[in-house]
Amino acid sequence: MNWNRKDLLGLRELSADEINFILETADAFKQVGTREIKKVPALRGKTLINFFVEPSTRTRTSFELAAFRLSADVINISASTSSLTKGETLKDTARNLEALHADILVLRHSSAGAPQFLAQRLKSSVINAGDGAHEHPTQGLLDIYTIREKRGKIADLHVVIVGDILFSRVARSNIFALTKLGARVTLVGPSTLVPREFEKLGVTVSHEIENVLPEADVVNLLRIQHERQRKEYFPGIGEYTTLFGLTKERAKHLKPDCLVMHPGPINRGVEIDSEVADGLQSVILDQVTNGLAVRMAVLYLCGGIAA
Amino acid sequence: MKDTKHTASPARTPGVPIMDAEAIRRALRRIAHEIIEQNADLKSVVLAGIPLRGVEIARRLAEFIRDVAKIDIETGTIDVAMHRDDVGTRAELPVVHTSKLPLPLEGRTIIIVDDVLFTGRTARAAMDAISSFGRPARIQLAALVDRGHRELPIRADYVGKNLPTATREQIQVRLQNIDNEPDAVWLFKE
């Protein structure tokens, strides 16, 4: 397969072959993390700009480390340090970054479509690091990489995604990629956050977690995003935990080989009990490690093409 | 995943056969003998193949060495794609493979194995890759075909066949286990 995309904007537009190719490329880059010298010269001389208009530590750090391991130079720009606060438009800011010969732009933005807007206007690679409630493709890829690593396949697995689906770009990226690779996906949560509308994407919607847990091969718990919620969606944290939290009692109904995942940061005691988050079935920290490998793969593929 | 390193475009003119299966077998057996002669401590030797065909050639060399010296020599895989210095200048992005080397490398002799030695840039990238795993006692280089046109101060320690070529010509190595074709080396006049 030949990779020919300079941008990674979402998983919806990727073919199953392209997704698998990224995962295979990530295998090779994961191995780099085990070497004495955890750095390869693949992107030497290239400049990556982490442009995070919305705050993020975990994703930004992961991209930054991925770029370091590929020998690219990295600049971090956050909303507060950019001239967006002085009234500059997103396009002008980005064009200025390109005038500095930035080769790769990693963009986190609160508006869906912002990465696509820039990708169409810039010669640089644009990598979507999360845009509004649209997509977070590298998170979707690292989730799928982790499932594939632990279970050896994606096809025919039953993946249950629990929580705030409506506002979740992580859920969308997961849904697009998992269904393409042949997994069965069930979304679980309160009807306000998991509307039936999602069934159009080829998934099952359920509002009761008890029935779903015993048949799950993977349970991916999404964080309740307080910052995106308005009160009417959501009666209260306590009630959410009672109805949908993966408590240690509920976890007893999981299959022994079911994986427990969470994109982080975890709200312990809200969507997941500490005993479950730290338990044997949890692969939450593997997700973090794999995120680095997946982001190296994406930067290598898109950054290598753009030149 | 198809490796495009030496198979860039299917040449239009019919290929000239350079080596057949028997010639390849004899060349590899001779290299195996030379490796045995030049490495008193065969247990410290690692045959590190460059994907895809170098890995297959390393496997065959290890078999010949087992037959002759009754030693199971260690083999490995060395990815060069992420160590190349021309990412972005080639028509196609090189496909990365997972490197596998027996660790630690300290005190060991790593023999890089590839099908064709040409500019020497792949061998340089392989040496760079090996260094990121540790510091072997020495690194050697084995190639089934040396076609000349070096761009770096690199030469092979073991060569199956020296083949003078023009730069624009193409050499293609075909190996049964990789290509599903009979073992052969072909020369294409552009």
Using CA coordinates, name the residue in chain B closest to A299: B82
Cβ distance A140 to A174 under 8 Å?
yes
Q: Collect all residues with Cβ–Cβ distance below 8 Å to A285 and sequence separation of at least 6.
A: none
Residue A227 confidence (pLDDT): 63
Cβ distance B126 to B78 under 8 Å?
yes
Q: Collect all residues with Cβ–Cβ distance below 8 Å to A101 and sequence separation of at least 6.
A: A47
Three-state SS string over B64-129 comes to: HHHHHHCCCCEEEECCCHHHCCCCCCCCCCCCCCCCECCCCCECCEEEEEEEEECCCHHHHHHHHH
More confident residue, A136 or B94: A136
Using CA coordinates, name the residue in chain A closest to B100: A31
Residue A228 confidence (pLDDT): 61
Q: Is B108 on the interface with A (CB under 8 A)?
A: no
Contact B82 A21 (CB under 8 A): no
Structure-block tokens of residue A13: 């537009």
Complex-level ipTM beyond the 0.85 threshold: no
Q: Collect all residues with Cβ–Cβ distance below 8 Å to A99 and sequence separation of at least 6.
A: none
Asked if omega into B104 is within 30° of 0 (cis), the reply is yes
Residue B1 confidence (pLDDT): 40
Residue A80 confidence (pLDDT): 74
Phi, psi of A258 (to 5 degrees): -70, 135
Contacts of B77 in chain A (CB under 8 A): none
What is the percent of chain A where pLDDT is above 70?
95
Cα separation of A264 and A288, whole Å?
A: 9
Closest CB to B96 among A2, A29, A44 = A29
Contact B93 A21 (CB under 8 A): no
More confident residue, A176 or A85: A176
**pLDDT range class, residue A231, cuts 50, 70, 90:** low
Residue A306 confidence (pLDDT): 65
Cα separation of A115 and B179, whole Å?
A: 41
Contact B82 A29 (CB under 8 A): yes
Q: Collect all residues with Cβ–Cβ distance below 8 Å to A119 and sequence separation of at least 6.
A: A6, A7, A9, A126
**pLDDT range class, residue A239, cuts 50, 70, 90:** confident
Cα separation of A215 and A159, whole Å?
A: 9
Contacts of A33 in chain B (CB under 8 A): none
User: Which residue(s) pair with A162 in the sheet?
Assistant: A188, A221
Q: Is A1 on the interface with B (CB under 8 A)?
A: yes
Closest CB to B1 among A1, A46, A307 = A1
Show pLDDT as tens, one digit a residue, over chain B (190 residues): 444 444 445 545 789 999 999 999 999 999 999 999 999 999 999 999 999 999 999 999 999 999 999 999 999 999 999 998 777 677 788 899 999 999 999 999 999 999 999 999 999 999 999 999 999 999 999 999 999 999 999 999 999 999 999 999 999 999 999 999 999 999 998 7
Tell me how far CA of residue A24 lies from CA of A3, A148, A179, B37, B190, in angstroms: 12, 11, 19, 39, 33
Cβ distance A207 to A191 under 8 Å?
yes
Using CA coordinates, name the residue in chain B closest to A37: B132
Strand B16-19 and strand B184-188: pairing?
antiparallel
Cβ distance A130 to A106 under 8 Å?
no
What's the DSSP call for residue A65? H
Q: Is B36 on the interface with A (CB under 8 A)?
A: no
More confident residue, B6 or A237: A237
Residue A149 confidence (pLDDT): 98
pLDDT digits (tens, 9 = 90+) for A210-223: 999 999 999 999 98
Please state the rounded mean pLDDT for residues A234-239: 79
How much is the pTM? Answer: 0.90
Please state the rounded mean pLDDT for residues A27-46: 94
Residue A39 confidence (pLDDT): 93
Closest CB to A304 among B1, B85, B88 = B88
Cβ distance B137 to B109 under 8 Å?
yes
More confident residue, A32 or B3: A32
Cβ distance B101 to B131 under 8 Å?
no
Residue A232 confidence (pLDDT): 66
pLDDT digits (tens, 9 = 90+) for A87-131: 788 888 888 888 888 999 999 999 999 999 999 999 999 999 999
Cβ distance B139 to B130 under 8 Å?
yes
Closest CB to A300 among B82, B128, B131 = B82
